[in-house]
Structure 1
């Protein structure tokens, strides 16, 4: 599939929103919607890559897909976890660094956070766990549905999005437990399904319509960033629909045309580069934000945390992630979102 730098721009926007939220920067109380944007983007990219392989070869090479995912995701994660384990006895003496890192390294944080609120200082790795479960299962789904027509697959993924949304709403309404609903893979699949739906559906808006869709989606997400009530079961249940659809609208806009102001903004070089290194920015920012946000003003915390995470992520990208690209079969293909 053809590389679209605007999608890296979307990654940059998403990671900045999350970092600002975790640093408790004013007017970013809904910054967790950056994770929702990541999920929809990941569903779109991974489905596009797998469906392209099916179109070209008639099948999906599971071994190659899992190997590429492991090379992309594990080395930066293990580096961050090793650093956390080294400093945790000093900076976080109340934590059990062995358990924390084991949960994160084995991608169990989503359910551990949902039911036990652990590992607290590595809680951000819950979204990596959600995505890892998706990566494990989704190639099998694409392989099993390879004989379906584009129309049939579009209908199937539309139904999957509705079912995943209904399951999240039911879980939130029945249990009234924000932790239980927010973190689990099975209750956070709707964005991934919507991204997959966007990847396979044949319709794309015309440039004028794409521009309008992109602007409306951006306005909705900005409002959500400013006012969404975090840790509200009601918002997780019902507001999640709006956030998913707005994230999907942004992606649909930038993949449909390059002529909009939104596309030009997202393809600015600083945003694209930040999007390229966004995975490691996400990995490194959270423990430091937990350490500083109760000690420093929020603006200072954001500047220190964002600056530190960007520098470390740039080094990780240059010396770890880029060299590993040569070990993957299709280095030109876009990476999945974090």
Structure 2
């Protein structure tokens, strides 16, 4: 989402050289924000509405680069203080207002842990670092990983803010070298800026394309992988005088403007209708909406407005079949005027509405977005524009910067306070002298339905097996720790799978410590034990080359170890196609069987699909508020199905679902113990307490702990 959109039309671009009002760009901003809002509201067919952000990046690159170049051409320098003062009063106050209202809304509607998480995200947003906050979580925007955050939409704003810090420096450096050194004889100022902007654009595009298949989150939200779209707009600004040259035939110029304008608009429409959340993005797919926006802007520059041109003349200029005729219509220019505020308000409105009502249908979310448009209009007219157009602030750069700093400080202070208060309240709900065991949790018929739990929901996320490094994270292929445990001459045992295998690692090591096992752990996050193949046209994170190569290497290493026992487990909800899962497991089991080891399959644990710890932080007075169905997601476990049919009897299967669920109803906690640390994984505490259940089932299966 752009913030420099306010350089037009709420306030014409002001440089010592000119004051120009771009109706067509205002309308293009209106279309861009409308696309993003429709996408967030899940309106059918607008599957690629998120490309509206790409359009904003192009617009911002054009407006800012144009402003900087024209100022340098006129004054021979750049006023960095003036530049940052304009950004401060235009961008920060409105964002700070939304951040403060959002965290208040979270405190009124969400459980404590979720309030704390929202505070952290909004804190990052206030500091203009939201994109890096989400990247630190390896959050995939298109996969919906951060849909519950009130700060989700701030990722793009943060990118723009970060670019605003470096872009003027790059333009100034290029311009100064070209105009103040001997190079001025050979290179014009505009050409030098174009070379620098072009180099940034090409380098960033290459990075984006290379990152998309291997690290989609970074490709989508990292500043360096999005700068190229800013650069595309900048290159149009550099070349603007070429567009404005007097053509031998004005009619030919008008025809060209019409053709490229509608061609660009068609590119945007095609992108919106054909790109979706499964498209590898940005990659090469982002070229379509980006170049489409560039062509639309270039079309307007072929018939540019002139300084101080009256509105009537601008209206006559837009008469005819050019794309600017559509873009300059009052509804679209109005949306462009309120685009920043609408972008800021619509997403928190959707998240809070879903939190309170649970409704997610697109008509309901669209209605909420329309209400947010009303809020945005009021915010623009009575808060944002009065600050932007205040004469004293426009005259006094220091005062404008102070307004911006105040907005940042307020946003940081309020969100930080909310986070601290949430932690203080939650710290009261702790279990004193908790010594949980299998008997204390599962040996009693009477179960407590309420009260503090272990671990405390605020501590649950970190209650995971040690060492953490033995679960190889997404984006890496090697463990950051020695993951062989036990005596050198011990019985060779393997633990193999994804994070659902890793959740049992300490329990397996505990069992192995009494039987002289040497355990070799091969676990990688989001990388299934079953050999799932890539699906045509679908960019599944668990079928990337990084994952498939790791699995192939791990199976090869397992074979070379000649293990006596292999424990294997994996998430059962990766794909809903049974045939594909059957084939994938057959591939993996064929390799494991060839080792001659006794295979022990640990059945997949229940999958809540929502953050249990978040829910429990607001439900300690009634844990059943966080109950969930076992069949809420399609679970495919071929080994269990085969054994039910009398097949695969060479594999021992163990599991704990009968302890975590009552028929189809599964529980988040029992007798003071919290079972889940997130939306699918057991806490390390729960796995430890459940270890005797695994041992009992192994004993009942007459399992040979020596692996003979």
TM-score, normalised to structure 2's length?
0.44
Match of 2:547 in 1: none
Q: Distance in 2 between matches of 1:272 and 1:100?
A: 32
**1:159-178 maps to which residues of 2 (within 5 A)?**
159-173=199-213, 175=214, 177-178=215-216
Residues 253-308 of structure 1: per-residue CA shift (max 9 Å, x gap): 12322444311111111211211111010000012223446614212321321x22
Q: Distance in 1 between matches of 2:385 and 2:237?
A: 27
Say which is worse superposed, 20-29 or 52-61, in terms of deviation: 52-61
Q: Decide which structure has greater strand share.
A: 2
Quick check: 1:252 aligned with 2:298? Answer: yes
**1:145-156 maps to which residues of 2 (within 5 A)?**
145-147=174-176, 148=178, 149=188, 150-156=190-196
Question: Which one of the candidate residues 381, 389, 402 is aligned to 1:318?
Answer: 381
Largest Rg, 1 or 2:
2
Question: Which one of the candidate residues 33, 54, 73 is aligned to 1:15?
Answer: 33
Q: Decide which structure has greater helix share.
A: 1
Residues 49-76 of structure 1: per-residue CA shift (max 9 Å, x gap): 1111111111111111111101000111
Are the structure 2 counterparts of residues 52 and 329 from structure 1 closer, same or farther at C-alpha, using a change threshold of 3 Å? farther
Match of 1:336 in 2: none
Match of 2:581 in 1: none
**1:1-338 maps to which residues of 2 (within 5 A)?**
1-93=19-111, 94-96=114-116, 97-116=118-137, 117=139, 120-147=149-176, 148=178, 149=188, 150-173=190-213, 175=214, 177-201=215-239, 202-204=241-243, 206-233=253-280, 235-257=281-303, 258-259=317-318, 260-292=321-353, 295-305=359-369, 307-324=370-387, 325-326=389-390, 327-329=393-395
3-state DSSP of counterpart to 1:122: coil
3-state DSSP of counterpart to 1:246: helix
Q: Distance in 2 between matches of 1:92 and 1:248?
A: 42
3-state DSSP of counterpart to 1:239: coil
Task: Report the Cα offset of residue 230 of structure 1.
Answer: 2.0
Q: Relative contact order (alpha carbons < 8 A, sep ≥ 6): 1 or 2 greater?
A: 1
Q: Distance in 2 between matches of 1:317 and 1:218?
A: 27
Q: Distance in 1 between matches of 2:168 and 2:25?
A: 22
Q: Distance in 2 between matches of 1:250 and 1:92?
A: 43
The 8 Å contact of residues 114 and 182 in structure 1, kept in 2 or not, is answered as no
Task: Report the Cα offset of residue 190 of structure 1.
Answer: 1.0
The 8 Å contact of residues 115 and 180 in structure 1, kept in 2 or not, is answered as no
Q: Distance in 2 between matches of 1:296 and 1:155?
A: 47
Q: Distance in 2 between matches of 1:44 and 1:236?
A: 20
3-state DSSP of counterpart to 1:237: coil
Task: Report the Cα offset of residue 329 of structure 1.
Answer: 4.5
Task: Report the Cα offset of residue 2 of structure 1.
Answer: 1.0
Say which is worse superposed, 110-119 or 38-47, in terms of deviation: 110-119
TM-score, normalised to structure 1's length?
0.91
Task: Report the Cα offset of residue 161 of structure 1.
Answer: 1.7
Q: Distance in 1 between matches of 2:21 and 2:171?
A: 21
Could you tell me which runs of 5 or more consecutive residues in structure 1 were left unpaired when the two chains were aligned. Answer: 331-338
